[in-house]
Amino acid sequence: MSWDDFAKHAKEAANWGADYHKTIRDRPVRAQTAQGDIAKQLADSPPEDGTNLTAIMADFERIVMPGITHWQHPRFFAYFNSNAAPASVLAEFLVSIIAPQCMLWQTSPAATEMETRMMDWLRQGLGLPGTYQGVIQDSASSATLAAVLTMRERVLEFRGNIEGLHGQPQLRIYCSDQVHSSIDRAIWVAGIGQDNLVKVRTTGDLRHMDPIDLEAAIAEDRQAGRIPAGVIAATGATGMGACDDLESVAAVAEEHGLYSHLDAAWAGTAMICPEFRALWTGADRFDSIVFNPHKWLGAQFDCAAHFLRDPDQLRQTLAIRPEYLKTHGAEDVIDYSEWSIPLGRRFRALKLWFLMRHYGMEGLRTRIRNHVTWSQALCDRLRAEDDFEIVTEPILSLWTFKAKNASDEQTQALVDKINDDGRIYLTQTIVDGRKVIRFQAGQFDCEERDFDTAFETITEIARRP
């Protein structure tokens, strides 16, 4: 393809993209295809000869689009939204065109220096103190893995990477029973082992980690000769939005000299609104914090903001410096590949620059406030109906409900019927041992009318004979 042809087709793709978003409400939210429908339309072998892009685009519409679940749909109320604000999409388009590999300062100084500044913009927006420095990871899962590796190396006096874990003391990591499964996976990958992830009982409406039980678990492990290494807390956990009491968790971590990490992957974005920060009072006492701008803030996936009080501990855990990766003559530059698990790095900071400059922090706050207001109003509206019960109260824009007296099987059947209908998309979770329906709002361009549609869809389908 010539670059002249590229320009022609890129304009067509941009027009297609605009039309897609303007008409997205006309599509069912979740893909309605059956298993195998897409695969059977794809050739068994790669083509020997090229195909013109007009034909490829036609096949894209015919084959691919029916099998897409529309994460940018304003009535996507299932998982935490993976947003793509138009300004962010444009930035990603430019990054795709210039295609830099931003592992070192010298491989693209603009990427490194903009990342440093954009992370500081986010730090200020969240109200975190200037003692934090930031790095952009691909996802909260990677940031959490980096934190767990740092916990491991710190407590082993940075011998684990050199000597391996065989023969080392049994390490223990603590978290609540509400945390995301990425914490379990980080424990596996770090070689610590599932049996050494201690999940502490939660209590109260916010399902916070019980500090007394946390203290007891640490004391029991020390007495048994095991080595406590770190604590992972949550603000806005995935299931029903559980929020730990961060002050009490941080106090325990400080008392015992443990590395502390806060997973605020979804809810962290809402902390740009000062009125919501009561949910993470004490966050500024944690060694590291992560939230995903690619969820609620509007940045294109992937983009996770990872803040650190002492980046040297992370660099000491991850940095490796063969001769070909050294920047001679500029020894004090930041090479963010030393702050991340992958060596290769994309230019993720550009979309944050476009996003925050185009909408402004107040524009982004307004969207979040609207989502919270509209979601909580829908909760109250459903609460007023005699045949529904609210199981967990709203935490920001997330809450759970079920039809009254419904069994787990009936609850799942209702979720399936709603999703098959196509007007909205929900998912299920488990709360206190029973299956419930989870509602969460955060699509960048959703409007109040989309919540009206949600109410109509839920009540109508639940009441069908």
pLDDT of residue 331: 67
Burial of 93: CB neighbours in 10 Å, binned 0-12, 13-18, 19+: middle
C-beta atoms surrounding 56 within 10 Å: 11
Tokens 């603000």 belong to: 235
pLDDT of residue 71: 92
Cis peptide leading into residue 213 (ω within 30°): no
Tokens 């969207």 belong to: 367
HSE-up of 459 (CA within 13 Å, CB side)?
A: 16
pLDDT of residue 381: 96
**99: alpha, beta or left? (left if phi > 0; alpha if psi -120 to 50):** left
Q: Give 429's strand partners.
A: 436
Cite the DSSP H helix spans in 232-348. Answer: 246-256, 311-318
| Per-residue tokens: 171 | 């390490």
DSSP state of 63: I
**Positive or negative torsion for Cα 69, 457, 445, 431:** negative
pLDDT of residue 167: 81
| Per-residue tokens: 320 | 């490796």
Task: Per-residue pLDDT tens, the chain, 465 aa: give them.
Answer: 888 888 998 999 999 999 999 999 999 999 989 899 999 899 889 998 899 888 999 999 999 999 999 999 999 999 888 899 999 999 999 998 888 887 877 778 888 989 999 999 999 999 999 999 999 999 989 999 999 999 999 999 888 888 888 888 899 999 998 888 888 999 998 889 999 999 998 888 889 899 999 999 999 999 999 999 999 999 999 888 899 999 999 999 999 999 999 999 999 999 999 999 999 999 999 999 999 999 999 999 999 999 999 998 998 898 877 665 677 656 678 888 888 988 888 889 999 999 999 999 999 999 999 999 999 999 999 999 999 999 999 999 999 999 999 999 999 999 999 999 999 999 999 998 999 999 999 999 999 999 999 999 999 999 988
From residue 276, how far is each of 243, 245, 284 by CA, in Å?
A: 12, 14, 15
Q: Which residues of 207-231 are buried (b: 16+ CB within 10 A; e: fewer)?
A: bbbbbebbbebbeebeeeebebbbb
Q: Give 202's strand partners.
A: 209
Tokens 């072998």 belong to: 45
C-beta atoms surrounding 235 within 10 Å: 31
Residue 400 Cα to chain centre, angstroms: 20
Q: Going edge to edge, which strands form the sheet with 259-263?
A: 133-137, 304-308, 288-291, 259-263, 227-234, 171-176, 197-200
Burial of 329: CB neighbours in 10 Å, binned 0-12, 13-18, 19+: exposed
User: Any idea of the CA torsion for 23, 26, 29, 32, to the nearest 10 degrees?
Assistant: -120
CB 202 within 8 A of CB 176: yes
Task: Set out the domains of the chain in order of their start, with CATH numbers.
Answer: 101-346 (3.40.640.10)
> Using CA atoms, how far apart are residues 136 and 307, in angstroms rounded to an integer?
9
Q: What are phi and psi of 233, to 5 degrees?
A: -110, 170
> Using CA atoms, how far apart are residues 221 and 196, in angstroms rounded to an integer?
10
Contacts of 223 (CB under 8 A, 6+ apart): none
DSSP 213-243: HHHHHHHHHHHTT-EEEEEEEEBS-TTT--B
| Per-residue tokens: 303 | 């983009």
Which residue type is seen at 83? N
Supply the pTM of this predicted model: 0.90
| Per-residue tokens: 57 | 């685009």
Q: Name the nearest CA neighbour of 269 among 229, 308, 299.
A: 299
Q: Name the nearest CA neighbour of 398 among 380, 421, 379, 424.
A: 379
Kind and range of the H or E element at 19? helix 3-22
Q: In a 3-state reduction of DSSP, which class is residue 78?
A: coil
> Using CA atoms, how far apart are residues 206 and 368, in angstroms rounded to an integer?
20
Strand intervals (E) in 296-454: 304-308, 388-395, 398-403, 427-431, 434-440
pLDDT of residue 324: 57
| Per-residue tokens: 143 | 């940031």
> Using CA atoms, how far apart are residues 264 and 271, in angstroms rounded to an integer?
10
